């Protein structure tokens, strides 16, 4: 009798205990004195941070719950953070990180998988630089930090909503001069921020997918590695970013980047006085091997930069293809200095580059086409080198002056098979990244600027690269002035069909584009047969 009673009691005891390192949290029905099982969940994040969390643990937050505070994972492996259904609610559980450094902080950890949750952090001001390696206060939805000398692996974010991330409380107003600094000098909120703060540590295999990032005071996604030790294998896809006060996405010092099928709208938003108010949809810096394709970059705002997608300096082999770039203040093509073998190809640009220098707080012209030698304030300009711009369709309406800037330090430029449909006037402007280049006469080496279709023969005569063997005429777009890629399907067979040339390496360039100059499909997925057509869309 005694043995049977003991076994019975043991079974009852184990049923209420934590097993398999799975922990459940429910802010409505939970209690921190519970055992943390699915039937007896804990209540608070405070309780979670008191647990001696083992590797290979799983953390589940109940749908419909709201948890105040921050989850911290340091020196962990094989951790899952996700949601579970414990009531009738279908809403993702919310982590409210107001006043905290971040909703989730991950440091020096591998195989971390975060999914199906929502993070908010609308002000608070209380963090006061709680991480000893950070130089200034910030707030983030999700913050990953490398601070040791180890190489960490696999950081995955899937189906996460991050919204309303601000360091300052409502009503805070920034000085208008703040937006003139390269990335801001004050404290901001960031959506997802991944930082390498170590001397030799690293993080490899980063995936951010299927997520919504909305209403952030600075960048939506910012990955910042080390120039001599880049984050390796970064995939960011099928995300939607809306109304970020800074850029939508920034990839600083990455190797092997693939950013695709993202929808980035209203980057550089200034609809809240706490936002920075400047930012391209996406930009790279110090990165090698990047493929940026099948994205939408729309309505970027700001007094400088704020292109759909721009390639900042110190990059190699960045390819921008198959994207829609629309209504971005800064422009379409923007390649800065010390960039090698970068390309814009098979993109559709609609009314990009409308910004006018001197209007309001604007200190940089918007541009349809810009090759800049800028490599940092005060540094001697050089490059870009071997820039390939081909088979793009560029439409700019009559109310916008299409501005062109080509730095005399550029070397190796190919411009071919593009449609430049400039309805209005065009103008040469000087590159003006903080300080305009000096302009004047120059001789750019290894230029191939042929076989492009212009509505009118008015590429600015002052620009240092000039078109040859151009085609003048109207492509007869399906819906001129429309908002979608398919609106710019050309119907003028005589000007377009099979009139492209086969793109080859720029003279004296032995590299070309590492993933290949030739493509088999256009921006809509139509097969390219025989010779390519002119522009981004093949006529069926």
Per-chain mean pLDDT for the chain:
94
* Banded pLDDT at 19 (limits 50, 70, 90): low
Residue 133 is predicted with a pLDDT of: 86
d(CA 160, CA 448): 45
pTM of the model: 0.95
All structural domains of the chain with their residue ranges: 20-127+137-164+191-274, 280-468+501-516
List of residues 6+ apart from 4 with CB closer than 8 A: none
Which one has a higher pLDDT value, 14 or 483?
A: 483
In the three-class reduction of DSSP (H, G, I as helix; E, B as strand; rest coil), residue 188 is classed as coil
Q: What is the pLDDT of residue 126?
A: 73
What is the Cα–Cα distance from 203 to 195, expressed in whole angstroms? 9
Does the pLDDT value for residue 20 go beyond 90? Answer: no
pLDDT range class, residue 457, cuts 50, 70, 90? confident
- Please answer whether residues 278 and 268 qualify as being in contact, where contact means their C-beta atoms are separated by less than 8 angstroms: yes
Band (pLDDT 50/70/90 cuts) for residue 131 is confident
Of 363 and 432, the one with more pLDDT: 363
Provide the sign of the torsion angle of the four alpha carbons 34, 40, 43, 44, taken in this order: positive
- Is the pLDDT reported for residue 435 higher than 90? no
The pLDDT of residue 132 = 80
User: Cβ(61)–Cβ(67) under 8 Å?
Assistant: yes
Give the dihedral of Cα atoms 403, 407, 412, 414; nearest 10 deg. 0
Architecture of 20-127+137-164+191-274 per CATH? 3 Solenoid (2.160)
Q: How many CB atoms lie within 10 A of CB 284?
A: 29
What percentage of residues in the chain have a pLDDT greater than 70? Answer: 96
pLDDT tens-place string over residues 490-505: 999 999 999 999 999 9
pLDDT of residue 12: 39
Q: What is the mean pLDDT of residues 306-331?
A: 98
Report d(CA 60, CA 64) in Å as an integer: 12
pLDDT-derived band at 441 (thresholds 50, 70, 90) equals confident
Retrieve residue 218's tokens: 């600075």
Residue 11 has pLDDT above 70, yes or no: no
Q: Which residues contact 423 (CB under 8 A, 6 or more apart)?
A: 395, 396, 397, 398, 455
Residue 6 pLDDT > 80: no
In this prediction, residue 447 carries a pLDDT of: 98
User: How far apart (Å, rounded) are the C-alpha atoms in residues 430 and 442?
Assistant: 13
The H or E element containing residue 212 is strand 212-216
pLDDT at 8 over 50: no
pLDDT of res. 5: 45
Q: Which residues contact 378 (CB under 8 A, 6 or more apart)?
A: none
What pLDDT, on a 0 to 100 scale, did the predictor assign at position 2?
52
Model pLDDT for residues 179-208, shown as the tens digit of each residue: 999 899 999 999 999 999 999 999 999 999
């Amino acid at each position: 009798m005694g043995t049977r009673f003991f076994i019975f009691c043991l079974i009852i005891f184990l049923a209420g205990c934590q097993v398999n390192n799975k922990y459940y949290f429910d802010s409505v029905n939970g209690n921190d004195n519970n055992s943390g099982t699915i039937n007896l969940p804990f209540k608070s994040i405070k309780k979670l941070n008191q647990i001696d969390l083992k590797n290979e643990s799983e953390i589940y937050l109940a749908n419909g719950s709201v948890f105040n505070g921050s989850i911290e994972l340091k020196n962990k492996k094989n951790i899952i953070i996700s949601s579970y259904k414990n009531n009738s609610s279908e809403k993702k559980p919310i982590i409210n990180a107001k006043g905290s450094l971040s909703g989730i902080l991950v440091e020096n950890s591998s195989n971390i998988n975060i999914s199906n949750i929502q993070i908010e952090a609308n002000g608070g001001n209380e963090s006061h630089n709680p991480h000893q390696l950070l130089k200034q206060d910030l707030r983030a939805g999700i913050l990953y930090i490398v601070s040791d000398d180890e190489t960490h692996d696999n950081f995955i974010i899937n189906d996460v909503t991050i919204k309303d991330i601000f360091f300052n409380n409502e009503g805070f107003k920034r000085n208008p001069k703040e937006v003139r600094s390269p990335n801001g000098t004050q404290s901001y909120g960031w959506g997802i921020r991944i930082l390498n703060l170590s001397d030799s540590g690293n993080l490899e295999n980063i995936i951010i997918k299927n997520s919504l990032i909305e209403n952030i005071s600075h960048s939506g996604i910012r990955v910042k590695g080390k120039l001599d030790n880049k984050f390796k294998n970064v995939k960011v896809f099928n995300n939607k970013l809306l109304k970020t006060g800074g850029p939508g996405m920034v990839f600083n010092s990455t190797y092997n980047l693939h950013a695709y099928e993202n929808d980035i709208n209203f980057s550089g938003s200034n609809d809240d006085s706490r936002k920075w108010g400047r930012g391209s949809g996406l930009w790279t810096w110090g990165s090698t091997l990047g493929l940026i394709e099948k994205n939408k970059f729309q309505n970027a705002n700001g007094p400088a930069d704020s292109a759909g997608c721009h390639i900042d300096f110190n990059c190699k082999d960045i390819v921008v293809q198959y994207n829609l770039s629309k209504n971005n203040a800064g422009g379409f093509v923007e390649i800065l200095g010390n960039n090698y073998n970068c390309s814009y190809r098979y993109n559709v640009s609609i009314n990009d580059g409308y910004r006018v220098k001197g209007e309001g707080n604007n200190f940089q012209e918007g541009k349809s086409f810009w090759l800049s030698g800028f490599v940092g304030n005060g540094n001697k300009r050089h490059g870009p080198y071997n820039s390939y711009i081909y088979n793009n369709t560029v439409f700019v309406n009559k109310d916008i002056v299409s501005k062109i800037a080509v730095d005399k330090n550029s070397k190796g430029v190919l411009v071919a098979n593009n449609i430049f449909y400039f309805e209005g006037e065009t103008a040469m402007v000087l590159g003006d990244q903080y300080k305009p280049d000096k302009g004047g006469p120059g001789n750019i080496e290894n230029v191939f600027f042929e076989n492009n279709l212009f509505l009118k023969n008015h590429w600015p005569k002052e620009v240092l690269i000039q078109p040859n063997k151009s085609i003048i005429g109207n492509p007869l777009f399906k819906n001129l002035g429309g908002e979608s890629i398919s609106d710019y399907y050309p119907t003028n067979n005589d000007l377009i069909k099979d009139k492209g040339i086969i793109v080859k390496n720029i003279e004296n360039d032995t590299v070309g584009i590492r993933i290949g100059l030739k493509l088999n499909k256009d921006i809509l997925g139509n097969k390219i047969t025989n010779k390519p057509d002119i522009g981004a869309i093949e006529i069926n």
